[in-house]
Amino acid sequence: MSKVKLIVGLGNPGPEYQSTRHNAGAIFVENLASHFNTSLKFEAKFFGFCGRLSIQGQDVRLLIPTTYMNNSGKAVSALATFFKILPDEILVAYDELDFPPGVAKLKIGGSSTQNGIKDIVKSLANQKGFLRLRIGIGHPGDRSKVTGHVLSKAPDAQHNKMLLAIEHAISCTPVIVNDDFKAAQQELHSFKAE
């Protein structure tokens, strides 16, 4: 892995989606920007809200696409191409049905059923080797209920657990950015919000 130069938070645009489970990635980047006292501003040429910060001397760009989730690759490829950022220098944060709220896990590459991730892979010429921060939102138990589940806000107790996992992931971000994947993974994976 290389040092992270771009952190992307996936979600859907508009106030109706702002606090939904599907916007867990966008919430992570919003909170990360706030933690580092960095503002995000809309950049039309990158199809999203962008920011820039320094984490332990490493220059890092932030991006929340304003395309819908299924077209996230458009924003990611536009920004990555402009700044010459390679796929293995990108971290993408997104909601994960397979983990309960309160859990966040890190992985490199691999396949995913998450539509935003699939579109990013496609937009990066099928290169899958970017980092993924998977933020648990839980599964509704039945496949037919998934769409309604991800597009709604979790009950307060679950939402608060998700926010605690995001807060812990933010505290691990300096380790992630500076390319100590194993240490970041160990620190992140040992946490579960109760």
Active-site amino acid positions: 22
Kind of pairing between the strands at 58-65 and 48-55: antiparallel
Chain-centroid distance, C-alpha 112: 14
- Whole-angstrom Cα distance, residue 35 to residue 170? 8
The single residue listed with the structure tokens 């990066």 is 124
Taking the chain, what is the end-to-end CA distance rounded to the nearest angstrom? Answer: 32
Which tokens belong to 13?
A: 């645009």
The single residue listed with the structure tokens 């220098």 is 89
